Structure 1
């Protein structure tokens, strides 16, 4: 038997449904907490405006740095190293940009081309101070600094840079291993050099320098054996 529909009374009509009741509670709460709500909303707006302003500032820095960086690279490849140095000086000032650190690397190479290794080393040191993350750029900076010291006959300074560059997972790890091995030989750390050359053969069995390194390993093994393993 069908049930007759429930009769709606005047009291039911006056009674608010759940949505209306909940909405009313929210508005009542907001009315009581109006000042805190306004303050919180203002804080959110200010934060969004601040983020937008910071982003716009960073983008402008990147744009200006890119202009000086590209001009510097063009001057460098044209052999105008002194002019390139000045452009890279401007580009590196935009420290928030992605061009600041590469500009320092190019600046170091420009100083080397001008025959000023001291200033080149200073630019590389600035690069390493700025580029803290374990990146390709940091590896290149470390290798450049290591080569600079090695060329000057100072393997005691070059060795640590080669060793740190070796720990970075990037395309030039093999060069870092070989540099560390060369400096081991230069400082008479034959066992250390032998270990590095063996590491190269293990890590890069199809490397371009395998033939040369294999001969080095054989020579060092003979020397280490002749010295009683020292």
Structure 2
């Protein structure tokens, strides 16, 4: 005999009762209706914030492009020997974009234009402002070397020696030149023995340096033992460094 199947009778009340999904949909609908204003405001805020972020991004990219074009024009003028024009363009870029990399670098090249125009006080001030914010080791070394050159041309031996010492403290393309600058400033300030020691220290640290011949000549002029006869003059005057 087959097993008896018990069928549960669904009441009229159960048929009318909403299921869980229907209840959830209704609750969501009620929430949306009751909070429609807040939802719309929140959505508008999110959309506006996104639009602002996108707008700022493209605006900053536009300013980067404009700054690059100004920098290129100024460099072109500097390389062409149009120092006054280069000064104006670099100064404008430095003043308008102090927070951008090209705006900060503009002060370094502005100083180069001033040096080429023999405007040493303005070159000094531009380099001091540049070094106050510059963190890149290469450009700091170049900036310090150029500042030392400016001080040397202004016959401020003490400040020139200090700038050369700072430039010589870090490895870089101008390190050897800066070390010789320190020795040269000591000699010009009257510290003969200090200059001799600095020149000898350079020879010990750089036995095969290209500047060896000039250092031997400088030592001979200072009365220190030399392997070659002393010439009539010491190594030539320093030149500022410019990266093209």
TM-score by length of 2: 0.63
**2:209 equivalent to 1:199:** no
Residue number in structure 2 paired with 1:69: 71
- 1:106 paired residue among 109, 116, 132: 109
The 8 Å contact of residues 148 and 161 in structure 2, kept in 1 or not, is answered as: yes
Count of residues paired in the alignment: 178
- 1:151 paired residue among 150, 153, 161: 153
**2:217 equivalent to 1:215:** yes
Residue number in structure 1 paired with 2:121: 118
Residue number in structure 1 paired with 2:80: 78
Residue number in structure 2 paired with 1:172: 174
Unaligned residue ranges in structure 1 (runs of 5+): 1-46, 224-230
Unaligned residue ranges in structure 2 (runs of 5+): 1-48, 226-244
Separation (CA, whole Å) in 2 of partners of 1:108 and 1:199 = 31
Separation (CA, whole Å) in 2 of partners of 1:174 and 1:48 = 53
- Relative contact order (alpha carbons < 8 A, sep ≥ 6): 1 or 2 greater? 2
The 8 Å contact of residues 88 and 107 in structure 1, kept in 2 or not, is answered as: yes
The 8 Å contact of residues 183 and 194 in structure 2, kept in 1 or not, is answered as: yes
Q: Residue 101 of structure 2: SS of its match in structure 1? A: coil
Q: Residue 99 of structure 1: SS of its match in structure 2? A: helix
Judging by fraction of residues, say which structure has more helix: 1
Cα separation, partners in 2 of 1:203 and 1:65, compared to 1, 3 Å? farther
Cα separation, partners in 2 of 1:58 and 1:173, compared to 1, 3 Å? farther
Separation (CA, whole Å) in 2 of partners of 1:110 and 1:211 = 32
Query: What value does the CA root-mean-square deviation take over the aligned residues?
Result: 2.9
CA drift of 1:112 comes to: 2.1
Give the structure with higher Rg (CA). Answer: 2
Deviates more, 1:118-127 or 1:55-64: 55-64
Residue number in structure 1 paired with 2:99: 96
Residue number in structure 2 paired with 1:11: none
Residues 105-141 of structure 1 show CA distances to partners (whole Å, capped at 9, x for unaligned) of 211121122232111111111111121x261111111
Separation (CA, whole Å) in 2 of partners of 1:58 and 1:196 = 49
Residue number in structure 2 paired with 1:129: 132
Cα separation, partners in 2 of 1:210 and 1:51, compared to 1, 3 Å? farther
